[in-house]
Amino acid sequence: MTVAVARVAFKPNWSARIAWVVLAIYVVWAAGQLDFTWSRFVDGLSNAQKFLGRMFPPNFSTEKVEMIVKGLTESIQIAIIASIVGIALSLPIGLMAARNLMPSWVVWPARALIAVCRSFHEVVIAIIFVKAVGFGAIAGIGALVVGSIGFISKLFAEAIEEISPKQVEAVRATGAGFFSVLVYGVMPQVFSRFLGFASYTFDSNLRHSTMIGIVGAGGIGGSLFSAFQRFDYDFVCAILLSIIGLIIIAEWFSNYVRALFNDNLALVDYFRNRRNARLTREKSAAMGAS
């Protein structure tokens, strides 16, 4: 006589459950160590309500708009210069950090340099540059260049390590030199990804360029910090709204640049494709709802 054994559809994972319990206990303990209490949180909500009440309506007077335009223009210039220089330096560093192309005595110094560039936030690097070269946009450009190298070089090296070796071997079989192998065997496989890395770097540098001015490295951040110190919260709101608008425009521009290089789309075709994609999503949503 055989005894039927009950089958469990989903076997409990006790290791995962214990890990979640330990994580929850740690979060509660860490909150207590950081003096996070419910009363402080409630008081913070009431203070935030008063703060937001003083921010609206935003102050877009003529004098304030001129200050915003000047600060945003400087932030854009810092972001563009830092992105171009950072991308140009990241290309050779990323290549040297790729373990499938370079010997170990080249890879590890390059990866050490990338690790150093990634170790500090852009604001910390900006403070160092301000102390080194003084206040102004030069310090901001230097800080963002270092940050760009740490970001792009790492991702570029990882993208190169994931390429198919067959195309590289085919180019080498023709007797091509090292640089020809890079141009015809490596770059075609990573160009679209590198373009995405570069566009994201510009977006990131644009955001950081609006913040590093707080420590004196140029850009709109200096005006924002001064407005906070003067308790000029309606001007703070105007600056924040302007930064949001700038980031939205930069996001659209980055998407168009990727479409231009990847699909060779003109501006009119790009907008047409976006409109068709939106109509398709709306049609699919309507069919799903029905």
In whole angstroms, what is the distance from residue 219 CA to residue 72 CA? 6
- In terms of Cβ atoms closer than 10 Å to its own Cβ (0-12, 13-18, 19+), residue 25 is exposed
Structure tokens at 63: 């004098």
Q: What backbone phi and psi angles, to 5 degrees, belong to 231?
A: 55, 30
pLDDT score for 22 = 92
What CATH architecture is 62-264? Orthogonal Bundle (1.10)
- Report the run of H or E that residue 29 belongs to, with start and end: helix 14-33
Q: What is the pLDDT of residues 222-279, one digit of tens each?
A: 888 888 888 888 888 888 888 888 888 888 877 777 666 666 555 555 556 656 666 6
Structure tokens at 92: 């050779």
Give percent of the chain above pLDDT 70.
85
pLDDT score for 278 = 62
Question: Are 171 and 189 a contacting pair, CB within 8 Å?
Answer: no
In whole angstroms, what is the distance from residue 65 CA to residue 181 CA? 52
